[in-house]
Amino acid sequence: MSVKYNTLSIKPRGYKIGGNLVLLLFAVILTLSPYKAFSQNTADSIRNLMKDANDLRRGELNVEMATYYLGQNPDSAIYYSHKAIEIGRRNNNHVVVIRSYAKIGEAYQKQNKMKEAISFYLKGLALAEKHKEKSLAGTIYNGIGVCYFYQNNPKKAEEYLKLAAQAKKDGNDYQYYALITTNLAILQISTGSPKEAVKTLKEAEKTLLKKKQPEYLATVYNSLGAAYQTVKPDSCVYYYEKSLDFAIRHNDLVNQMTAYQNIGDYNLENKNYAGAIEYMKKAIAVNDKRPEDQFKPALYDRLGLAYESVGDFKNAYYYKKLESEARQRLFSVQKQKEVDELEIRYQSEKKEKELQLNKQEIERGKNQRNLILFGAFLLLLIAGFIFYLLFQRRKITQQFEQEKLKMFENIFHEIRTPLTLIEGPIQVMKQEPGVKNAEQLLLMERNSKKLICLVDELLDASKLGKGSFRLNHTTGSIGDFIDDIVSSFEGEAESDNKHIINDKNNLGGNYSFPSNALEKILSNLIGNAVKYCPKGSEIHVKSEIKSRNLVLEIKDNGPGIPEKEQKKVFRRFFRGKYAAGTNGTGIGLSLVKELVELAQGTIQMESNPSGTSFKVSIPVQEQDIATVPVAQQEGVPTLLLAEDDPDTAAFTISVLQENFRVIHARNGQEAIDLIREELPDIVLSDIMMPEKDGIGLLKEIRSDELANHLPVVLFSAKASLESRLEGLGYGADAYIAKPFSPDELKLTIRNLFTTIQRNKEAYQASIKSPKTFEERIKSDNAYVNKVTACIVENIDNTDYSVNELSDDMAVSRSQLHRKLTALTGFSTTNFIRMVRLEKAKDLLLANDGNISEIAYKCGFSSQSYFTKSFTEHFGKSPSQFAKDQQI
């Protein structure tokens, strides 16, 4: 069951089958370009190309030459890679430099110099990450993984192979993603995890099918066959044959050969010698179509073994002889390549001398080019100055517009104050018994509300102009929402002998939609239709869901809008001739258009003498209220409600679910179990409950190290002062009497949650203070200090992560995450990293070692990752930070 690829392999592990060693692992060392079976002709071609190539192209050709000599002469590969680095830096070609560092790492790897190999790999990785070259980063991760495999560290090898596979996948390099994934799986097989290998390969199969990359599936299926041969032998031939099918379909000779050999080996293992001979011959026939390589003698060896097993010693001897001849030919080619390499070095040095002789001529050409560049730069400078003047002019105009909007907004807010003082007394007078002049009061109230609506409309227009208007998404029935808006206009329409027809289609179910924008859009469009249509008119309001969009059409049979005015109706403050004699500001349709565009929708208008139609389309998202309420969206706090009465529980949930994800427990004991499982943000509990009452629940929360930070609100029909004092005495944060006011309940819980947020902010502010490391990370909470102590104790251990910390704290990863997030605002991973970085900050301030030493002292596995993390946390690199402190 040997799994082979068209790449180099490191020393494999294996196991015995029928007295013959079968290779189990081929760890792939990927090159930065698709694999080529280099020959002497190829080396000559590269050398000839170098003679006439420009400097930039010569860098790429040196990388190819390094690739050519990588297999047989690593020193030569290092030599050409260094030349490529020099050329790449000279031409600011980071890709050539990254590839060259990877080649040097690979060459040292072949010489078993793992320390030097990893050093150059990391240099390449830092550049690849800086320039976001994901595919190249994947190649380097793979190389580091192979180094760790050589060092007999399969855990680290697997870690880097996973990073390599992910990087290749992110870089859309699916050929090497397939190869690395299969090698990762084979590594997992070799470490006794065949089921994990199957999982890895199935994920790769899923990815390649999803991304429509079937040409690389043959490699995956070959490895799946190998994985199943260890856990489910009957399934392996199925995958070998599937690999063969894809390999033939895409003319993949290597995988054709490998699949035939794997099926042959399977038959050989199961003593089906005729089948073994048949498939081995097919493998050799495919191999004959390729340049001669190390696979041919191996295939001759396997075929000879099959003939030997059936007693056909003549054929066994024949193929053993072919094996020996093939190995001798490969050996001769190897020696010839070494001789040719010496010649190439001589030619390269000769070329360097010629370049030196031409240096003066090149310098003269540079001077002429510099003059041209200077002239171009001068022209660019003049153009840039003109652009700057235009930009400043536009900026001043925008600032003037913003100031105008701000002034109007201030005026609108000032108008609202006297309007409030008018509306308030009207409401008080209406409530007085035996009120006089009731009709006048109603007239005053109606016009006061109209004025308030007008001011609100102007404020909305101002907010849209400043870009500060925010959409408020609501989840529920769109049909009911539209009914409410339409019904608010029916009275006004009927009083003027106008009829509104509300036609809904396909509005069943619940949707998430921008309710504040939709309300204003519908109100303006229906209000305009009612206002401007003559008596006896019909206004049609049609609504339906089409392709995840709410489509609205408001159509009337009024006089229409004149054609010359139709292009102006969406302008602010525009009023056409039919608006004469009616109240209005001319901002309604402008507001509608801006709200539609803010909601990423579209609006169209059609008008003629027989009527006007506005068609609006707004994206909506269907929701299942039973399973995904608005309050269960990511980032919404969780509230645990402990209440045994179903009706009270249902009402309380309806009050709170808009702002919280509510989980319900029917008694105190069930609440304790849910707290340990979910660790909510706030607990709201009744007192009188079966099994464990609210006071018992409160006591257990306060005595539990994991949950003692939770705010607890008690609410009960026991409203006496003694009962309230008892609950508060046991540590309740608030006590609400039943029957309760929904507003009081919401405000109480909201205030408690605000306090939690402030505590998080206070802790994070303390971290940024100029105190010492110990003072900065110290918390008022003992649990946080206990976590911090565990991290500090293991701060130089690069392998100390969330798993180890949760073990030390004797809690699960998820429980630790929720507890730390609630107390500090940091996730567990970010909290560990924060402590490490804050310690590093103090070491830098104390000048306690160079940056690399400080990185390793604080548990960072590489300087590049330390630099990246430090820069994200403090806003400057470690070197810049240290430099600033010295100034």
- DSSP element (H, E) containing 602: strand 602-608
d(CA 815, CA 813): 6
- DSSP element (H, E) containing 712: strand 712-716
- Which residue is associated with the tokens 């048949």? 278
Name the CATH code of domain 768-886 (choices 3.40.50.2300, 3.30.2130.10, 1.10.10.60, 3.40.50.10540). Answer: 1.10.10.60
pLDDT of residue 12: 29
pLDDT of residue 713: 92
d(CA 265, CA 273): 9
- Which residue is associated with the tokens 């890679």? 81
Q: Does domain 389-469 have CATH number 1.10.287?
A: yes
* Assigned CATH topology for domain 630-753: Rossmann fold (3.40.50)
Angle CA 493–495–501, to nearest 5: 30
* Percentage of the chain modeled with pLDDT above 90: 10
Residue 27 has pLDDT above 60, yes or no: no
Dig out the tokens for 355 from the structure.
């370049």
Looking at mean pLDDT, say which of 195-199, 327-331, 490-494 comes out highest.
195-199
Residue 20's pLDDT band (boundaries 50, 70, 90)? very low
Mean pLDDT computed over 566-572:
71
- For residue range 804-814, list pLDDT tens digits in order: 888 888 777 77
- DSSP 8-state class, residue 256: H
- For residue range 155-165, list pLDDT tens digits in order: 898 899 999 98
pLDDT of residue 402: 61
CB count within 10 Å of CB 495 equals 9
- Name the region of 853 (left: φ>0; alpha: ψ -120 to 50; beta: rest): alpha
Beta-carbon contacts of 708 under 8 Å, excluding residues fewer than 6 positions away, are: 701, 702, 783
Residue 405 has pLDDT above 50, yes or no: yes
Dig out the tokens for 85 from the structure.
């680095």
- For residue range 618-646, list pLDDT tens digits in order: 998 876 544 334 444 556 788 999 998 88
Cβ atoms of residues 720 and 785 within 8 Å: no
pLDDT of residue 96: 92
Residue 99's pLDDT band (boundaries 50, 70, 90)? very high
Same fold, 389-469 and 768-886: no
Mean pLDDT computed over 497-507:
83
Cβ atoms of residues 866 and 819 within 8 Å: no
Q: Please state the domain extents for the chain.
A: 389-469, 473-623, 630-753, 768-886
Q: Which residue has the higher pLDDT, 491 or 189?
A: 189
Looking at mean pLDDT, say which of 229-243, 257-271, 344-358, 714-728 comes out highest.
257-271
SS3 663: strand
Residue 410 has pLDDT above 90, yes or no: no
Q: Is 544 exposed, middle or buried (0-12, 13-18, 19+ CB in 10 A)?
A: middle
pTM exceeds 0.85, yes or no: no
d(CA 188, CA 183): 9
pLDDT of residue 56: 83
CB count within 10 Å of CB 318 equals 15
Q: Which of 2, 56, 8 is nearest to 25 (CA)?
A: 2
Q: Which residue has the higher pLDDT, 737 or 9?
A: 737
pLDDT of residue 450: 62
Angle CA 85–86–92, to nearest 5: 80
d(CA 198, CA 189): 9
- DSSP 8-state class, residue 631: G
pLDDT of residue 89: 92
Cβ atoms of residues 106 and 120 within 8 Å: no
Beta-carbon contacts of 257 under 8 Å, excluding residues fewer than 6 positions away, are: 4, 283, 286, 287, 290, 295, 299
| CATH superfamily of this structure's domain 473-623 | Histidine kinase-like ATPase, C-terminal domain (3.30.565.10)
Torsion of CA 784, 790, 791, 795, to 10 degrees: 150
What does the DSSP assignment read for 145-186?
Answer: HHHHHHTT-HHHHHHHHHHHHHHHHHTT-HHHHHHHHHHHHH
d(CA 865, CA 780): 31
d(CA 86, CA 117): 19
Q: Which residue has the higher pLDDT, 303 or 399?
A: 303
